[in-house]
Structure 1
Amino acid sequence: MSRSAVTSAKRVVIKIGSSSLTGSAGSALDSQAVSQIVDAVAQLRSRGAEVVLVSSGAIAAGLAPLGLTTRPKDLATQQAAASVGQGLLIAKYNENFSRHNLVSSQVLLTTEDVVRRSHYQNAQQTLNKLLSLGVVPIINENDSVGTQEIRFGDNDRLAALVSLLIGADLLVLVSDVDALYDAPPSHAGAKAISFVDHIADIENFDIGGAGSAGVGSGGMVTKIEAARISTGAGTPMLLTSLTNAANALAGAEVGTFFASHGTRSTSRLLWLAHASTPRGRLILDAGAVTAILERGVSLLPAGVTAVEGEFIAGDTVEIMSADKKVIARGLVAFDSHEIPQMLGRSTKELAATLGAEYERELVHRDDLVLLG
């Protein structure tokens, strides 16, 4: 896959990080930075592409008005800063998009909106309707009410999940680093990487930790994870800096392009693979592992040796080999307390001893997606 995928993309998700929008820790929202990213979005819109913007910066934008000099560590102060910053951030975006006669909207998401299937569908419908109306949705994690238990943790992963949610043709991460390097950019001899064919090709690189500005929560590690999610689901990814964003989106050989290799699946299976939260685990024998991986069959009780966790019918479970390697995810058809009596037994035997309702799959093939 070449960079022609960048210029041919009809539906694009762009994520911009806090450090790109605010500069050093504690500084105010940078109006010029907002103007630059809006101009890049407008450039895409002018060629007919639909764009969703995933924007960090709410907490960072709220620091200066509250007299804070660094990102607070406690959740309550983070939420307060986000509450102040959200309004400042969206007002600045609306002002800049109006220069291009474009309408923008604010969409706040929590993890629940992506990991729960009904919420996922609602978010999907809302975004698709906004795009059909010509609106540029601006998405952020709902930091003002989020808790540690329901946070995405970084907007890189959120952007990757949004790209799956709307079936994007391209995911773009705009960072304070202009590309992926084979070592931390501050190290002598570090080289920028223009093209990544497979994520496995860079697994031995020293890619560093969190961002340098101190106002974000991600870093290069989360960007690689975003690439893993999006490319594995058929969506290529471009990593670039705000300074180079316009040129990169025009097809210039700047930044790092991550080729996609996964095949586009249904929205439902993409959700199951990347956004759902597993509630338990099913451990399989070798024969069942082979059947799942090579023949694409449903999972029957006869091939399961153990069950872990507590869940109810309809929950997502991880499907694992005997050595605890996760090979698939699926929607389980029985409650966890029902399964131990079913292990290693055929469906006909279960029907004869437990009743006709037990003569069915633990996980139907239509509710199962392979991983890796």
Structure 2
Amino acid sequence: MADAGRVVVKIGSSSLTAPGGRLDVDRIHRLVAVVAERRAAGQEVVLVSSGAIAAGIAPLGLPMRPTDLATAQATASVGQGLLVARYTEAFAEHGRRVGQVLLTAEDLIRRQHYRNAQRALARLLALGVVPIVNENDTVATDEIRFGDNDRLAALVAHLVRADALVLLTDVDGLYDGPPSRAGARRIPEVRGPEDLDGVEVTGRGTSIGTGGMVTKLEAASIATSAGVPVVLTVADNAERALLGEPVGTWFAATGRRKSARRLWLAHAARTSGRLVLDDGAIHAITHGKRSLLAAGITGVEGDFEPGDPVELATPHGVVIARGLVAYSAGEVREMRGRTTAELQEQDGTSHPRPVVHRDDLVIVSRY
């Protein structure tokens, strides 16, 4: 970690706010001091910061985080300006400028948006600016319901080709059970999914933030599968984590860095339907690295068009892959279960296209 040239640091709302929900300026200044020190040492840092909605709660006189979408968007609109203003002031004390980058899932789904975001972040870093990234909660929908920016941080780590991702939260690592339970043990290192067997994870966040340990593990899985190691620790350990000291939980990289397209397909794309596969098709795509043919499809769910992302699932509902389908839902329903020879005889084509070509398919879990 100490030798990482570029690091993404994500901090959640609960680590930036005081009791009652107001933004805690002292906490921001402590975090900024650590980031500025690492930047002065030559390490590039992208800061993914939650807190826009939390920052807007007190100024609007709200008793708690809003639950309806319109009020949440309005609160984020008020709070985002306050949040960035605090960061601007704090970094200015260290002679650093910041740049605000607001993203939504659309910016990671659409290829041109993805490339634009990538260029903008690269240029900010080249200019010595510290990018402050947040979800654009004012116009986002799913992001407000599902995000504490954990998933976004993992995707940003891939976007900027970071050497590591640091997730700062309000617990000092991953435990094998609820940390409040007597005898719960902190897990110092996770080398792969098998190390999580038997780990009991509960809760999806606080009244201020919307994340939780579940989303942290999801983010760690996204990042490590794309070749980016992850440190999960409490915000007070930020400096020690960035210096490479053994704090929190270290998630080792388990895969190679993926192409932007494959990472998008695996984690960012919204699927339009699901194809249920038989055992032969499951084995062919997961172990044989083959394309999905119509003969192996037993069920079709949803309404999709050619080129849409779809899930590929087992008969028990386990999603094992995602892919770009070559036919509409109606066409696949007519084709399912039929062999290539049968389709050739019906359509008169010598080489019917696979339903999902192997170049348009990514495995998301082994079965």
TM-score (norm 1): 0.90
Partner residue, 2:362: 369
Could you tell me how far apart the structure 1 residues matched to 2:146 and 2:202 are?
20
Amino acid at match of 2:274: R
Given that residues 48 and 153 in structure 2 are in contact (C-alpha distance below 8 angstroms), is that contact kept between their aligned partners in structure 1? yes
Given that residues 170 and 236 in structure 1 are in contact (C-alpha distance below 8 angstroms), is that contact kept between their aligned partners in structure 2? yes
Q: Percentage identity across aligned positions? A: 57
Q: Secondary structure at the match of 2:287?
A: helix
Match of 2:224 among 221, 228, 231: 231
Q: Work out whether 1:296 is the aligned partner of 2:277.
A: no
Query: Compared with structure 1, are the counterparts of its residues 74 and 309 closer, same or farther at alpha carbon in structure 2 (3 Å cutoff)?
Result: closer
Task: Please list, as runs of the form range in 1=range in 2, the aligned pairs for 1:231-310 lying within 5 A after superposition.
Answer: 231-310=224-303
**Coordinate RMSD, CA, aligned:** 2.3
Query: Compared with structure 1, are the counterparts of its residues 187 and 327 closer, same or farther at alpha carbon in structure 2 (3 Å cutoff)?
Result: closer
Q: Secondary structure at the match of 1:81?
A: helix
Amino acid at match of 1:9: A
Could you tell me how far apart the structure 2 residues matched to 1:116 and 1:355 are?
36
Partner residue, 1:81: 75
Per the TM alignment, residue 200 of structure 1 is displaced from its structure 2 partner at its CA by: 3.5
Query: Compared with structure 1, are the counterparts of its residues 121 and 197 closer, same or farther at alpha carbon in structure 2 (3 Å cutoff)?
Result: same
Q: Work out whether 1:122 is the aligned partner of 2:150.
A: no
Could you tell me how far apart the structure 1 residues matched to 2:35 and 2:282 are?
46
Match of 2:19 among 16, 24, 44: 24
Q: Work out whether 1:335 is the aligned partner of 2:328.
A: yes
Q: Secondary structure at the match of 1:12?
A: strand
Could you tell me how far apart the structure 2 residues matched to 1:150 and 1:348 are?
48
Given that residues 322 and 364 in structure 2 are in contact (C-alpha distance below 8 angstroms), is that contact kept between their aligned partners in structure 1? yes
Given that residues 350 and 358 in structure 1 are in contact (C-alpha distance below 8 angstroms), is that contact kept between their aligned partners in structure 2? no
Task: Please list, as runs of the form range in 1=range in 2, the aligned pairs for 1:179-258 lying within 5 A after superposition.
Answer: 179-211=173-205, 214-258=207-251
Partner residue, 1:8: 3
Query: Compared with structure 1, are the counterparts of its residues 346 and 47 closer, same or farther at alpha carbon in structure 2 (3 Å cutoff)?
Result: farther
Question: Structure 1: which 5+ residue stretches go unaligned?
Answer: 1-5
Could you tell me how far apart the structure 1 residues matched to 2:176 and 2:154 are?
22
Given that residues 137 and 144 in structure 2 are in contact (C-alpha distance below 8 angstroms), is that contact kept between their aligned partners in structure 1? no
Partner residue, 2:130: 136
Question: Structure 2: which 5+ residue stretches go unaligned?
Answer: none
Partner residue, 1:92: 86
How big is each residue's C-alpha offset from its partner over 1:212-256, in whole Å with a ceiling of 9 and x where there is no partner? 5x3111122221221122222221111122221101110112221
Amino acid at match of 2:18: G
Q: Secondary structure at the match of 1:143?
A: coil
Task: Please list, as runs of the form range in 1=range in 2, the aligned pairs for 1:28-107 lying within 5 A after superposition.
Answer: 29-107=23-101
Could you tell me how far apart the structure 2 residues matched to 1:133 and 1:364 are?
42
Query: Compared with structure 1, are the counterparts of its residues 128 and 345 closer, same or farther at alpha carbon in structure 2 (3 Å cutoff)?
Result: farther
Q: Secondary structure at the match of 2:178?
A: coil
Given that residues 146 and 211 in structure 2 are in contact (C-alpha distance below 8 angstroms), is that contact kept between their aligned partners in structure 1? no
Given that residues 34 and 96 in structure 1 are in contact (C-alpha distance below 8 angstroms), is that contact kept between their aligned partners in structure 2? yes
Query: Compared with structure 1, are the counterparts of its residues 262 and 16 closer, same or farther at alpha carbon in structure 2 (3 Å cutoff)?
Result: same
How big is each residue's C-alpha offset from its partner over 1:318-346, in whole Å with a ceiling of 9 and x where there is no partner? 12234433221111111111222322334
